[in-house]
Structure 1
C-alpha cells in the first residue's frame, strides 16, 4: 500500500469540494451530495445561499443572475497545514460571469476530512 501524501489529498478534496459547491450554487448539483464533506453549519450556509440565488432569479428574471456560477471551473488550488490535522486552502474559480476566490478550512476527524469553513467570494 502506497503512503498517502496529506498535502495532495487535501488539495484534491479542496478542488472537488469547491467545484461541487459551485455546482450547487448554479443549481445543477443537489446539496445533499456535500453532506458528508461539509460540516452542518457550512452545509446550511451553502444551502441558504443557493436558495437566495434561486429566489432572486425567480423574482427578477435577470439573465445575468441565471448565468451566475454557470460553467464554473476551479483554476488553481493552494493548501497549507496550519497545525496537525488542520489545513487551510484557497481556490480561484472562473465561471461565465466572473472570477472569484474561495477559502476553505479542512479538519481531520476520525480519519475523515471535513470542511469546517467555506467562504465563497
Structure 2
C-alpha cells in the first residue's frame, strides 16, 4: 500500500540509482556503505566490543543517548541472566536497502545476522555539513 503525501510522490523510488551522492570533499559517498558501517558499529556497541564514543560523529545526540541507554541495559541484563558471557557476538550485515527521500535525506533498512538470530535495523540518515548523520535509529 502506498501513502501519498504532498512532499512525496506516489511512485516508488529505487534506492539503487540515488544512493551515491557527492560528498563535501568531492568524493562519491555511497549511503549504503555508511548505513552498513553504522549498523555494524551500533550492534558491536550493544555487544560491548566497541566503545560508543566511536559513533559520536555518526549519531545525533538523541540517538547517541538512546543507544548508550540500551547498551547499558543490555549489558546489565546479560550479566544477570548469563553470567559473564557477552550478549551478542560477531554480528554480520547481510543486506542493506536505501531509499532516498531527498538529496540530503535517506532511509535505510539493514538485516544483520548474529549467532542465534537475525535482527533488523532501520535508520534515517541526514546529510549535515557534508557528513551523513543518523537522526533516527531502531534496532530490532
Could you tell me how far 1:45 is from its partner in structure 2? 0.6
For residues 54 and 67 of structure 1, do their structure 2 counterparts lie closer, same or farther at Cα, with a shift above 3 Å needed?
A: closer
Q: Which runs of 5+ in 1 are unaligned?
A: none
**Worse-matched range after superposition: 88-97 or 5-14:** 5-14
Normalization by structure 2: what TM-score? 0.76
30-39 or 4-13: which moved more?
Answer: 4-13
User: Counterpart of 2:16?
Assistant: none
Please tell me whether the aligned partners of residues 67 and 97 of structure 1 are also in contact (alpha carbons under 8 angstroms).
no
The size of the alignment, in residue pairs, is 116
Measured in 1, the distance between the counterparts of 2:38 and 2:62 equals 15
Larger-gyration structure (1/2): 2
Q: Which residue of 2 aligns with 1:5?
A: 20
TM-score (norm 1): 0.88
User: Following the alignment from structure 2 to structure 1, what is the Cα–Cα distance between the partners of residues 129 and 104?
Assistant: 10
Higher helix share: 1
CA-based RMSD of the aligned residues comes to 1.9
Displaced runs of 4+ in structure 1, greater than 4 A?
none
1: CA distance, partners of 2:112 / 2:76: 23
- The answer on 1:46 being equivalent to 2:67 is yes
2: CA distance, partners of 1:79 / 1:8:
13
